[in-house]
Structure 1
Amino acid sequence: MAGGLAALLDDIAALAKLAAASVDDVGAAAGRASAKAAGVVIDDTAVTPRYVHGFTPDRELPIIRRIALGSLRNKLLFILPAALLLSQFLPWLLTPILMVGGTYLAYEGAEKIWELVSGHAKEHTAVPAAAQGTDTEKAMVGGAIRTDFILSAEIMVIALNEVADEPFVSRAVILAVVALAITVLVYGVVALIVKMDDIGLHLAGRSNAAAAATGRVLVRAMPKVLSVLSTVGIVAMLWVGGHILLSGVDTLGWHAPYELLHRLEEAVHHVPGVGGLAAWLVDTLGSALVGLVVGAVVVGVLHLLPRRRHAAAAH
């Protein structure tokens, strides 16, 4: 009896060690997958703050929470199952789907630039978002979740490619961990960014001179930081959208555009001291330019078609 109990305890200990090793493996794989998607995570973080611009401070965190929950729902309920099933049965379809998403991101970025150039952005921002009612908040949250869907899909597919050799169940667990970790990271940072001015006001009221001075600096700086982040978010959509399209056409067999950009990167990569930064800038600007061109075409088509319809109806 005692021998049987000892054997059982040994088996339980062995199973516990195996489970612990599996958890460690999942954690390590999730870490590698998240690192591969770091560029898109940064873009996601840069894009989101502009969706709370113009709202009163008491609505900022609730809006971010709604976007974060929508992002997590996107990843776990839609993207994760679809990515796993497609990778298992129709792996060739992942690239075209991502390219459709990349085109949408390019369109979003190009449309924002069109609004700035044409002056339409001033019409939209003349009245603060907080004064436009709950419908505006719903529209902004919906737009943020739609944009996040594309970025989340890119993140999840990059992560999936990193763990493609893992068994199906391990892939599912790893991607779920990546989805949760990245959502918490992105929207935690976004919440901190948009509430930094409130933190500054709190510090400015402190009796400690250094804390008060830091608070005043934060209060003065945050509007400029948010404005810069809004611009970075637009560029990020063009950059990520263009990069998805370049990688997609390369995967599908048209190698010339991606190879040209890669040669340009290689040409500046060996510049002493700044080679790495220069190569990154070439890749970023080249991808953004592709995104801008494709996005501008889509914007032109979508703006041109309604005008033709109106003209035809007038005649």
Structure 2
Amino acid sequence: MSRRIPALGLAGLGLMLALTGCGQEAPVSEGVAQHAATELLQVTQVHAETGMTLLEGPVLDGQGNLFVVDVPAPAGEAKLLKIDLNSKDVSQVHTDGTGAYSSAQFSPADQRMYLSDIAGGRIISMNADGSDVQVFFEGDVDGRRVSPDDIAFDKEGNLFVSDFTAFPGAGVDAAQAGRIIRIDGETAQGSVVAENLPSTNGISFNEDYSGLWLSQYAANRIDLLALDQTGMKAASVQPAIYVNAGVAKVDSNAVDAAGNIYQMFEHDARIDVYSKTGQLKAQIRLPDDAQGLESATNIAIEPGTTQGYATVSGKSGGYVYTFEALAEGISQSNGG
């Protein structure tokens, strides 16, 4: 691991996330379908030690369970949780002393759960029950530490990871230093797919795996990265969708079977849904009585159905809300 960029501690992570008091009342876009989300359950409370909670990385296992990570959970408290969607029971799957996990996803190659540790600069894997924890990737790529945020798997089980730079102490220009890193699913060797990006956060393959939708945190827009014939490098990166975000920031994204892009936000509890040609088709919002929830940061749509789940967090705690998606879920809308 590089010593030139120090590992991000939970204190620095708290500065980056800064959830409390930052919600906004985003304007309703005229002519855009409005969809209401429904509270499923509260999953976490604000942690006394870190002063916050932030649920991320929702992923379904196909057996009635939804997994989520709690990014700022302190040592010893649940960092990966499992929600039984039938009973609504919540149980701890994994904790450790240092990790700050920002995404979770099952690999199509080995069916193990992969978690990105944005603070520790590593990716770990484990069985769905939390057993057999292994460090899958750790270290530098092209001489620079990786801060893995979101993960997108290709069909073969290779990982495409957003290298997030917009946090205090990174020592780089967030507007230019973001990267997309490919990590080989078998060898765990990392390579640069694209660089000089404005701190990419969300990353999802489009519906035919020819490219990746990138949520550019430091530019508040969504770009389309087209892959070359090898599937390992960027053929082009083009600005695709300019987002009306105000003080909010684009966070994770997801793609459904129709190719719609679901864009989530830090500092605004809403989800914007765009067509692949850039039209804002719908907005998914919390009910008016949902107080103290400032960020809707990620979703999962159950493959083969339109049942969606959103992770929503703020000073009231960490919650899961449900919603009706515009099209059926696929791998690209389940985890990451």
Normalized against structure 2, the TM-score is what? 0.22
Q: Specify the structure having the higher radius of gyration (Cα).
A: 1
Give the structure with the larger strand fraction: 2
Give the structure with the larger helix fraction: 1
Normalized against structure 1, the TM-score is what? 0.23
Higher relative contact order by CA 8 Å / sep ≥ 6: 1 or 2?
1
